[in-house]
Amino acid sequence: MTRSPTIKLAGGLRVQFTWTEARGLQCEWDPAQPRKMPRSLWRRYKIARNDFLARVPADRGTTVVVDADGVEAIPGTPRSSTDNRA
């Protein structure tokens, strides 16, 4: 399991990310996740999430793919996005 420190976003809202092989990306909100997030908060959340996901491959030895369907881990050696080998 890989876990982020608790990240302060804004207005007392905090989030902590966890990555496990079984469940993938999970986030824990304190207090509860807001129903609507202003753009500035959404941007801060995405920056924190992306920073965390950038660390997961090094910690877990996997490649992490983020797309419109969600987040997926691909076992194996992480490769650079500029690595063009098949």
* Cα separation values, 79 from 21, 48, 60, 75, 84, Å: 18, 22, 13, 11, 9
Q: Is the pLDDT of residue 30 over 90?
A: yes
Q: Between 75 and 13, whose confidence is greater? A: 13
CB 73 within 8 A of CB 63: yes
Give the model confidence (pLDDT) of 48-81 as tens digits: 998 898 888 777 776 676 665 666 666 665 554 4
Q: Between 62 and 39, whose confidence is greater? A: 39
DSSP string of 6-41? PEEEETTEEEEEEEETTTEEEEEEESPPPSS--HHH
Mean pLDDT of all residues in 25-49: 92
